[in-house]
Amino acid sequence: MDLAKIQYFLEAARLNNFTEAARKCHIAQTTMTKYISQLEKELGCRLFCREHRGVSLTAEGRRFYEGMKKICQEYQDLRGSLRLKQRKGLYLGIAMQEYIEARWLRRFEEDFPECKMYFSFHDIEALGESLGNGALDGFLFSDAQAMDLPFTCQRLFAIRQSFICSQALLDQYRTVGAVIAHLPFLTKSNSQDYVVKMRRTCGQVFGQPFEESRLCYSLSEQFLLLSLSQGFAILPMPEGDVYPGLSVIPLDDDFTEYAVLAYRPDSMTEELQKFLSLFSGMPEFAESDATEDAGRSQPLQGRQVFHEDED
């Protein structure tokens, strides 16, 4: 039995669907089906009941699933503990939707120059796997992203947001509320809870919730659609003329996102303890940097947006 491939079975059992499990495991559906059949032949029993809309575990399959899940977890824990004894430095994953606040990284380097940092950039699912097997000490993500993994999470600092749309849209509709009423919300977040929260917040702050949202798969796609006046976005971008043709308006605290660290307390390293010590007693980390933001315009409050030009 190949312990690496047993993840195919565990994923199929979790999802009750061979096709979806194959996609998650980045293999062909035929490969998944063939592997399950070989596994059943090796064990001498049926693991799944094949149904019209998917599959379900048999009694034997459920017993095998619970046992193998425990074995795989013990293997990952052992593997992780062995790796931790061999390597030095802080190993962090980054899943911050293609932007990241670097001030706290510089502070860590200044406070702990003897501790070298290593980074891995990937989606939350892949970073979760690396954290689970001990390759990472932890990973950072925005609370706008969906994260349903069995790790301890700690909020670190605020990520201030701005309303962004094309200048042409503001010239056409005059107010942010009117733009929200007529255009879709462009977001990279895969969290429906986040979209619902933004719809509600837009309604509370601007008196107009958006009706439609559109998922973008990269920052490049988001900016292309923004420049083509095909929607608006809420992003942590500074105000100014950095983005020709776009209007960037700072928002108030209602729209703030937070950077979150996911980690495993049972695999806490000395380096990660040092990293977390930076944020001890600092629930609003961004507030401690207020002097660095002094030159930034005041955030947009309530419904005070743009006014009609007087003739």
pLDDT number for residue 87: 65
Q: How far apart are CA 111 and CA 115, in angstroms?
A: 9
pLDDT number for residue 242: 63
Sequence-distant (≥ 6) Cβ neighbours of residue 111 within 8 angstroms: 274, 278
Mean pLDDT within 238-260: 83
Residues of the chain above pLDDT 70, percent: 83
Mean pLDDT of the chain: 82
Residue 76 pLDDT greater than 80, yes or no: no
Which among 292, 289, 288, 265 is positioned nearest to 276, based on CA atoms?
A: 265
Cβ contact 167:228 at 8 Å: no
Residue 14 pLDDT greater than 80, yes or no: yes
Q: How many helices (H) and strands (E) does the chain have?
A: 11, 12
Biggest alpha carbon–alpha carbon distance for the chain: 85
Q: What is the pLDDT of residues 267-277, one digit of tens each?
A: 888 899 999 98
